[in-house]
Chain A
Amino acid sequence: ETGVTQTPRHLVMGMTNKKSLKCEQHLGHNAMYWYKQSAKKPLELMFVYNFKEQTENNSVPSRFSPECPNSSHLFLHLHTLQPEDSALYLCASSQGTSGGYEQFFGPGTRLTVL
């Protein structure tokens, strides 16, 4: 595996379900990110982790719970979601969190909440 991978690619869940999104980067990067991409809206940053420590939480509701056990893995735990949470969830990684470090993105998980 190379680059940034995300599983599952598609997920349909009910509002009472609990599920988790997984992201793994094989680039040796130190920073990882979760973004949400809704239809007709810009990408929205959700969380930033640098060296496994959360450095930014962009006012995300508590029904989204991130976990970063190491610099290569990032999870997004989902519970009691709402239909408006349906979106493409993108994970990204970068060498660092400042300067000109470009972010490398995974293919995303398309989430549908019924």
Chain B
Amino acid sequence: AQKITQTQPGMFVQEKEAVTLDCTYDTSDPSYGLFWYKQPSSGEMIFLIYQGSYDQQNATEGRYSLNFQKARKSANLVISASQLGDSAMYFCAMRLRNQAGTALIFGKGTTLSVSS
């Protein structure tokens, strides 16, 4: 069965520091995609970054990068130079690439708190 595990319920970091949010996944399908979303207190889920299972390089989007270690089945999100506005809930999610009609499987999320 497919599963996403986020083991850190909460993380605390100071402004301008880097932070890594952990995500491990479980699937026997060789073709899949991994996503990270941010959910501020307003409730909206904001897409951050995507990594395909066959992508050779780690994905990067501005201050966000995904540390993809396929053999370990981990897809950690790295946020560089944290900002106060980064305080939010962060979700890791997975979708099987070749299975049409399926939606995302989400982890339980990690709450990130950035202080000044």
Give the residues in chain B near A35, CB-CB below 8 Å.
Answer: 103
Select A98's contact among B35, B43, B97, B107, beta carbons within 8 Å: B97
Instruction: Fill in one digit per residue for A14-55: 1 if any B CB lies within 8 Å of its CB, else 0.
Output: 000000000000000000010100001111010010100001
Give the residues in chain B near A66, CB-CB below 8 Å.
Answer: none
Q: How many residues in B have their beta carbons less than 8 Å from beta carbons of A?
A: 28
A20 to B43, CA, bound (A): 19
Is residue B25 contacting chain A, with contact meaning CB distance below 8 A? no
Sort chain A's interface into a size bin: 20 to 34
Taking a contact as CB atoms under 8 Å apart, the answer to whether A42 and B106 are in contact is yes
- Chain B nearest CB, measured from A45 CB (Å): 5
Taking a contact as CB atoms under 8 Å apart, the answer to whether B102 and A97 are in contact is yes
- Chain B nearest CB, measured from A19 CB (Å): 18
Give the residues in chain B near A108, CB-CB below 8 Å.
Answer: 43-44
A102 to B51, CA, bound (A): 11
Taking a contact as CB atoms under 8 Å apart, the answer to whether B45 and A92 are in contact is yes
Is residue B62 contacting chain A, with contact meaning CB distance below 8 A? no
Taking a contact as CB atoms under 8 Å apart, the answer to whether A41 and B102 are in contact is no
Taking a contact as CB atoms under 8 Å apart, the answer to whether B104 and A103 are in contact is yes
Known contacts A43-B93, A97-B100, A105-B44; can you find 16 more A-B pairs with CB under 8 A?
A42-B91, A42-B109, A45-B105, A56-B102, A56-B103, A92-B103, A98-B95, A98-B102, A100-B50, A100-B97, A102-B35, A105-B37, A105-B45, A107-B42, A107-B43, A110-B43
